[in-house]
Homo-oligomer: A and B are copies of this chain.
Amino acid sequence: MERWDMLELTFDGKTDGNPFTDYEIYGTFTNENETKTVEGFYNGNGRYIVRFMPSFEGEYHYRIYGSFSDKEFEEDFTVTAPSENNHGPVRVSNTYHFSYADGTPYYLVGTTCYVWHIQSEQLKEQTLKSLEKAGFNKIRFCVFPKHYDYNFGEPPCYPFEGTPVDSSTITSENFSQFNGDPEGNNWDFSRFNPEYFRNIERCITELQKLGIEADIIIFHPYDRWGFSMMDMESDMRYLKYLTARLSAYRNVWWSLANEYDLLSAKTAEHWETFGNYLMNNDPYDHLRSIHNCVNFYDHTRPWITHCSIQRHEIFMTNEYREKYNKPIVLDEIAYEGNIQYGWGNITGEEMLRRFWEGALRGGYPGHGETYLGYDNVLWWSHGGELHGESHKRVKFLHEIMLQTPCNGLKLGNRDWDCVCGFPQDDDVAERTGYCIFYFSIMQPLFRDFYLDDDNEYIVEVIDTWEMTITEIGIFKGKFRVPLAGKQYMAVRVRKTDKQNGQVLQ
């Protein structure tokens, strides 16, 4: 196996009583650089599993033990170097940005399909193809099924043993009467349904193959099964089971909740307990956040690695950075689409504008799509095909971001009337002269520039909508850049070496 891949070890164990709660299984993994003890979990049918993700190469030794069995198990194994597309888990880097564990910068361009994993196999296949084609590198989705307008279906199976409330009479008109935990649910929260989680894991694995991070939403309020209203003991059991199952996948992120402030049964104490549990019990320290509806969570909390923010006011991105000193992930800046809800009917142009503005302000906006007219399959929840315009332009933005000369951009306080993205590191900004001037919804015919008298700059016009980069020349002192009187244009400038005319790195 290679570094940051998952080792899965399966053992037969005890089946009497409730194996989900009555027995424990642990693995201790040792190599010269680390010793990690991880929890395993019961996978049904008498099988117990321990999963491990090695953070180093070389010789490892494991020991498996616990009440699940009267025996212990030991073995040596070798971890090789990661293959080309395996860069390890994503970490916070340079305060406001991300990189993979191997140091490769990770420029987030994410999307949301809340319950794509519990759709038909055909639809899931299509979702993966759409994600790959668009070039998204993160997807947010829920563990639990979703109950909301356009989302009245039942999942193929349930996370717990038991039976759900009858949903045969639910419509767009009456769905809110079923919110929460209506009469009729009958669950044993102490007995998980391993198949429900295996399906999620297959999805995570498929995403991993495509280089896509899986931002796992642990709790959410769009619920008619009562999963948002379990008692604390059941919540903690669920968290424990989930982390035991999923932590060893290198592409997992934890989103403690979607719109945490709409979960009426939860208090700040719940979230703090859950957040601290994740911080202390995920052996690999995956990224952790919590997503808001109206009220931001206190993103200064130590268990929060990055801000996951729902807000349409992209111009606030840089202020959030200053306030929280963490990466700003703008998970939900509204959806491109045409549904009636104000969060789900912006144009492709507006979505792309929000992406560019957010990126140049040093944040990471997230895409979403809610187009009606395709058999009630909406990307935002179900995945499937993308029907909008903005997703076609995500790869282009990502390529531009990859060309940043250090890890990440930040807003420069240069011009009041355009968004100026500079390299995060001041020394790199100074050395390279790298700057992207973005003109957003404005439609200037041209723009006059005066950067300095000493340096020669290679100047490119970027049409963010048409996805073209046009080099217009190398300039010094004052110069004029034609911008075609079009919206969504940008200008990129970079210092060139006086000797060879090459861009300075």
Which residues from chain A sit less than 8 Å from chain B, CB to CB? Answer: 173, 338-343, 345-347, 350, 372-373, 415-418, 439, 441-448, 478, 485, 487
Contact = CB atoms under 8 A, between A and B. Distances in A.
Contacts of A447: 340
Copies in the complex: 2
B443 A340 contact: no
Report, nearest first, the 5 A-B pairs whose CB atoms are least far apart. A342-B417, A338-B485, A345-B442, A338-B445, A345-B444
Contact of A417 (B341, B444, B445): B341
Given A345-B443, A347-B487, 14 more contacts: A338-B443, A338-B485, A340-B444, A340-B446, A340-B447, A340-B448, A342-B418, A342-B442, A345-B439, A345-B444, A346-B441, A346-B442, A350-B441, A373-B445
A58 to B, nearest CB: 56
Nearest to A481: B340
Find the residue from A415, A417, A487 having the highest chain B CB count within 10 A: A417
Nearest to A448: B340
Contacts of A339: 444-445
A92 B254 CA distance: 56
A445 B372 contact: yes
Could you tell me the dominant secondary structure of chain A's interface residues?
loop
Given A340-B446, A340-B447, A347 B441 contact: yes
Contacts of A478: 173
A294 B481 CA distance: 27
Contacts of A439: 345
A464 to B, nearest CB: 16
Contacts of A338: 443-445, 485
A444 B417 CA distance: 30
Contacts of A442: 342, 345-346
Contacts of A415: 342
Contacts of A446: 340
B347 A443 contact: yes
Contact of A443 (B346, B416, B441, B445): B346
Nearest to A449: B340
19 contacts: A173-B478, A338-B443, A338-B444, A338-B445, A339-B444, A340-B444, A340-B445, A341-B417, A342-B415, A342-B416, A342-B417, A342-B442, A343-B417, A345-B443, A345-B444, A346-B441, A346-B443, A347-B443, A347-B487
A174 to B, nearest CB: 12
Contacts of A372: 445
Nearest to A485: B338
A173 B477 CA distance: 13
A492 B345 CA distance: 20
Contacts of A341: 417
A266 to B, nearest CB: 23
A326 B186 CA distance: 60
Nearest to A172: B448
Nearest to A440: B342
A342 B439 CA distance: 8
A345 B417 CA distance: 10
A442 B336 CA distance: 9
A303 to B, nearest CB: 30
A442 B345 CA distance: 5
A368 to B, nearest CB: 14
Contacts of A417: 341-343
A293 to B, nearest CB: 11
A1 to B, nearest CB: 49
Contacts of A345: 439, 442-444
A350 B488 CA distance: 14
Nearest to A337: B443
A215 to B, nearest CB: 25
A425 to B, nearest CB: 27
A342 B342 CA distance: 28
A441 B442 CA distance: 15
Contacts of A342: 415-418, 442
A334 to B, nearest CB: 9
A54 B418 CA distance: 51
Contacts of A343: 417
A192 to B, nearest CB: 38
A284 to B, nearest CB: 39
Nearest to A350: B441
A447 to B, nearest CB: 5
A326 to B, nearest CB: 27
Nearest to A441: B350
A338 B447 CA distance: 10
A441 B337 CA distance: 12
A413 to B, nearest CB: 14
Contacts of A443: 338, 345-347
